Structure 1
């Protein structure tokens, strides 16, 4: 079931910017904010996944790993 979120004390400038962005895309402010929040949640999920990939990679190599190894594992993990 969908949940309701109330946000208090949103600065006028932020509200105006969000409203303008929603209008420019031809959608309501509510729909725009819902979409943005979904993207934030998905990004957080991806960050947690990346942390897990890094942890597994460190266990596999048993020591320090270079940047290229981490980036390769992250890329491979995203395609799984």
Structure 2
């Protein structure tokens, strides 16, 4: 495992994180480590765009289908 030191965290942010960790019965280090793990698992915006561009859209509604459904829903 790596060690990560984070500096210049505003006091109110540190207090909030510490309170959340205490609520879960965890150390601040364990809480922040788990939150960073969740963050690292999320795709970046660039990865999402790449996935969307590569997606097969055959059979998906057309722009006209979507606009017609919106128009119908407003009646």
Runs of 4+ aligned structure 1 residues displaced above 4 Å come to none
TM-score between both structures, scaled by the size of structure 2:
0.65
How many residues are paired up?
Answer: 60
Higher helix share goes to which structure?
1
Higher alpha-carbon Rg:
2
Structure 1: stretches of 5+ with no match in the other structure: 67-80
Structure 2: stretches of 5+ with no match in the other structure: 64-75
Aligned CA RMSD, in angstroms, stands at 2.6
Higher-RCO chain (CA-CA 8 Å, sequence separation at least 6):
1
TM-score between both structures, scaled by the size of structure 1:
0.62
